[in-house]
Structure 1
């Protein structure tokens, strides 16, 4: 989560939901406090600011990501952060479940399978999606670092059947987020600056060559520096537009619909809330 003490606002950063755009906009507009997390971890605030971007080892849970803590974990292991959340105004972004799941699979392949940039219709995506579903089927409350992007959105917003976060917005309505924040006393301008990119169909044949060069010929630092330049080139396009055509197989599709059913209802609720507000204006 991100806490802006001057406005007393908490942003619950749900992974794969355009959270970096909001986080960056908040950081440009106001000071972000890491004091609650520092108190929970027993470290300095400067150390907490670094730790929030990395994994950390928690007894009995293993490696987790402190930027993306579900509510039950906040309450059980991070009491100072939990108190801030309960007392402040809070908001989160929500997303339709299927494109979020696909985006999470793509990021998992890049981060933990070292595939480099690939298209969402690559067969390896379907294979990895099935493996992820097998793992998730055994997890009632997933928090493992390698699967952080698959944590249900509802775990960040509701707890024990009650709504904890004050406001939710669909990821494509940053204008509504900015309006809500403005009313709450925080004036920011949000730009969506973290859309995932994938190779265009004509560029697919060059991907094995690029992948080989990235893995075996380039130092890691150079590879990281070149990646954003390569992804913004004419060989790439925004990935989300092609997700609807990706065939994940009936078993995976059924699992997504079942496992994330509450998330989908929450997303539809966010859309309905936007429609009601628009109708009343």
Structure 2
């Protein structure tokens, strides 16, 4: 997240939606000394959250003053097809292992899709995903856009839409769609969700049901 008091905006860093590209472009407007970045402990009980990917609920709970101060700021974020975002999150999560192991899995499409299928079927559970900062990239996108069931973000732009910024007030800070965060390899032309098992697809459709419905993406 980036808060700009001078420009009166809040950039909501929805994971795996080109957020680092946005973060780097918007950092010059940050007036909170990069407070909302990296993992940090936020209470005496040892609760750790990923500050870059803080949700509005977490902001209100742990930083109520900032939440109040930004109530009238323009809040914006990008969203992405849930299947593509899930695969990107799997690739990101592999960084928690060794570099060589991640490289080996990404170099073998069959291995990668098997890992993604296994992860969906065994690890995509609501409680850990919503509470473990190491699993933040798998958190449903509505958690970053809504609070208490109501829309918190003023501008929600689709990553896939090259014209999303046209006519949006966000264009004054992001002059062009620089957030196509594909870096080659499996992601170069998009991931192939049909290579997941039917069980994994069913789990993803259920886990991200509100994302599909809220942002108008098509389920397999």
TM-score under structure 1 length normalisation: 0.66
Runs (5+) with no aligned partner, structure 2: none
Q: How many residues align?
A: 212
Asked if 1:197 is matched to 2:184, the reply is: yes
> 1:1-281 alignment to 2 at 5 Å?
1-27=1-27, 30-34=28-32, 45=33, 49=34, 52-59=36-43, 60=45, 62-114=47-99, 115-117=101-103, 118-119=106-107, 121-131=109-119, 133-139=121-127, 142-173=130-161, 175-177=163-165, 179-181=167-169, 186-190=172-176, 191-192=178-179, 194-198=181-185, 239-244=187-192, 247-268=195-216
Q: CA deviation at 1:72?
A: 1.5
> How big is each residue's C-alpha offset from its partner over 1:134-180, in whole Å with a ceiling of 9 and x where there is no partner?
33324176142221110110001112221111110101335433631
Give me the whole-angstrom Cα distance separating, in 2, the residues matched to 1:63 and 1:104: 19
Choose 1 or 2 for highest CA Rg.
Answer: 1
Q: In 2, are the aligned partners of 1:55 and 1:65 still within 8 Å (CA)?
A: yes
| Unaligned residue ranges in structure 1 (runs of 5+) | 35-44, 199-237, 270-281
1:28-58 CA-partner distances (Å, limit 9, x unpaired): xx52111xxxxxxxxxx4xxx2x64321234
**Structure-2 change in CA distance of 1:242 and 1:157 (3 Å):** closer
More deviation in 139-148 or 62-71? 139-148
Higher helix share: 1
Deviation at 1:129, TM superposition (A): 4.3
